[in-house]
Amino acid sequence: MESPVSVSLRSCARSLLALLFTAATSVVAVADDPLNLLFVGNSFTAGGPIAHLVRDLATDAGWATPNVQYVAPGGQSLGFHLTNPDTLNAIDAGNWDFVVLQEFSTGPTDNAGDPAAFKSNATALYDRVKLGSPDAQVVLYETWAREASHSLYPGTFANPAEMQAQLRTHYNDAADNYIPANATAAVTTDVSVAPVGDAWENYLNSGGTIRLHANDDYHAGPNGQYLSSSVLYSTIYGRSVAGRGGLLASPADAAVLQTFADATTGMTIPGGPDGVELGPLTAGESLFIDFGGDTRTTPGNWNNFTAFLTGSSLVNVIDDSGATTTIDVTLTDGFSGVNSAGNATNTLGYPTTATSDSFYTGSFDGHTAALENRAQVTLSGLDPALDYDLALFSSRTGTDGGIGRLSRYTVDGQVIESDVSDNTSNELVFSGVSPALDGTLTLDVEVSPNGTGRFAYLGQLKLTALAIPEPSSALLLGVGGLAWVGSRQRRAC
């Protein structure tokens, strides 16, 4: 089962800096002019190849197709590239807008590499790049830790977290400190890190089941290559990867990985040159989602969720005015199927196309078997500083032979149960629920153990952002006030 995105506060802070960097540097080229991109590395760059995946993502987003080149013989370090004629000739050809440098995967680690050599060689290559391309931006391609079952653990590294922490530390130090302090080029502040390894770590720590590593627990498989190229694309172009094509990944897997790539880079602007700044719901705004079949979708400013399997996703859903938001909705645990036998009418004023069909979870093998199944809907891209009202409506005609359809819904620790048999008027409301620090909120749907039914249902969802209450003088005094202020601070990114 997949669980929500988890991004550290430190990664969040670096992502905001990266966003400022790319906003200031990445989109300075004329939109109609293709970028010239050079990638220098080894098999972690050649797999895909990464340069071509970044090119295809850019083209899919509407940018002029970039001119890409890569020099990436297997097993080599940046020290090798300093004397490799193919690398030097490519760099010296000049006219590069971005040059991506990827070190050997254990090089920037204390336990298995030589971080000082990595930083020195990266600086020398930076200087070489600037000789032929004075305006080029240099991007350090942070790689990922080995899979948890790899032989490097627990001997060389205690676990993947330790390996990734060392990679992160030395890549960031190279960009933030070492290259600016030691480069001889006139401009030494135009180097950044593409936090590929951080995105891998965030996804793998989420409990997701999408395989990123290849079978050797070392290199990237197709999904890992997609996630890597997504982070590099966002770093270079300063755009969210949401909505881009799956390329090597399946559409469902791509939608999930896009969420993690954007959460790691902090990018929110969608699309290509004409992308607009998106935001979450603001106070008072709502969004509507119809869960059901593709033959009974709801028109207007509704979002229609018609795929019920794990990994299915809606990216950048619209609000009740039709405006696109940063909010994604993903089935982090899928449903069993689609039901189209809800009541044709309701007393709540909702479109019957939304209330007369639903997703269901459970088992035809009876109540006990049904209790082993659970569906989960994850909303991401919410404003963690706001609270929300979450309203649900579900309906199914009949009582399933008298055993009923008692469904259990859980949000933010709150549990509400309802028998949805022949429902026409009962709307369940979770009031004032709080998203996690990373802007995610999960809804669990399952058969209630308190009943005898076989199935639970989800027909429609309404999410409304609430205003932040003004603190009273009582709240600002004493322990109560400190607690209120602290709860808001813990949500800040």
Q: What is the pLDDT of residues 183-233, one digit of tens each?
A: 998 766 789 999 999 999 999 999 999 999 999 999 999 999 999 999 999
**Which of the residues in the chain have pLDDT under 50?**
1-30, 472-493
Q: What is the pLDDT of residue 470?
A: 54
**CA neighbor of 421 nearest in space, from 402, 401, 446, 404:** 404
Q: What is the pLDDT of residue 375?
A: 97
Q: Is 221 exposed, middle or buried (0-12, 13-18, 19+ CB in 10 A)?
A: middle
Residues near 63 by beta carbon (within 8 Å), at least 6 away in sequence: 31, 34, 35, 237, 272, 273
**Distance in angstroms (rounded) separating the CA atoms of residues 392 and 351:** 14
Q: What is the pLDDT of residue 277?
A: 55
Q: What is the pLDDT of residue 186?
A: 72
Alpha helices in 93-195 (DSSP H): 115-132, 160-173, 179-182
Coil/strand/helix, residue 399? coil
Q: What is the pLDDT of residue 33?
A: 85
**β-strand pairing of 455-458 with 191-194:** unpaired
Residues near 125 by beta carbon (within 8 Å), at least 6 away in sequence: 40, 78, 81, 82, 91, 99, 101, 138
Q: Residues for the chain: how many in total? A: 493
DSSP characters over 203-242: HHHTT-----B-TTSSSB-HHHHHHHHHHHHHHHH----T
DSSP characters over 10-70: HHHHHHHHHHHHHHHHGGGS-TTSPPEEEEE-SHHHHTTTHHHHHHHHHHHHTSPPPEEEE
Q: What is the pLDDT of residue 86?
A: 98
The answer to whether the CB of 57 falls within 8 A of the CB of 117 is no
- Helices 196-205 and 160-173, packing angle to 10 deg: 150
**Distance in angstroms (rounded) separating the CA atoms of residues 269 and 62:** 13
Coil/strand/helix, residue 382? coil
Q: Where are the domains of the chain?
A: 9-265, 286-465
Q: Which homologous superfamily is 9-265 in? A: SGNH hydrolase (3.40.50.1110)
**pTM score, whole prediction:** 0.56
Cis peptide before 49 (omega within 30 of 0): yes
CATH assignment of 286-465, among 2.30.110.10, 2.60.120.430, 1.20.140.10, 2.50.20.10: 2.60.120.430
